[in-house]
Amino acid sequence: MSSSTKTTDHDEIKAWAEGRGGKPATVSDTAGGDAGVIRIMFPDDQNSDSDGLEEISWEAFFEKFDQSGLALLYQEETADGQKSSFNKLVSR
């Protein structure tokens, strides 16, 4: 069984994402001068191209993250002990 952690700590989020090759991103069709819908994209993310993700700075990501009252729900490992990139942006 694997468990998830919920956090709003910017350093924890950045370290977790970068430890898996993740980068802050926005869905390009939603950006209108600032970050629109934000996500963390990963090198092996098959949906990055189809979702129209564009890399943004961590500063822009966290500005939108805080402004929207979000928290990150993430998983360290899968049930079989592999490093997990499961994450979801949820309401605080």
Opening angle at CA 88, ends 86 and 92, nearest 5: 140
Counted domains in the chain = 1
- Integer CA distances (angstroms), 21 to 14, 34, 54, in order: 10, 24, 15
pTM: 0.84
Between residues 24 and 2, the one the model is more confident about: 24
pLDDT 10s digits, 42-91: 987 655 455 688 899 999 999 999 999 999 999 999 999 999 999 999 99
Per the structure, the complete domain to which residue 12 belongs is given by 4-91
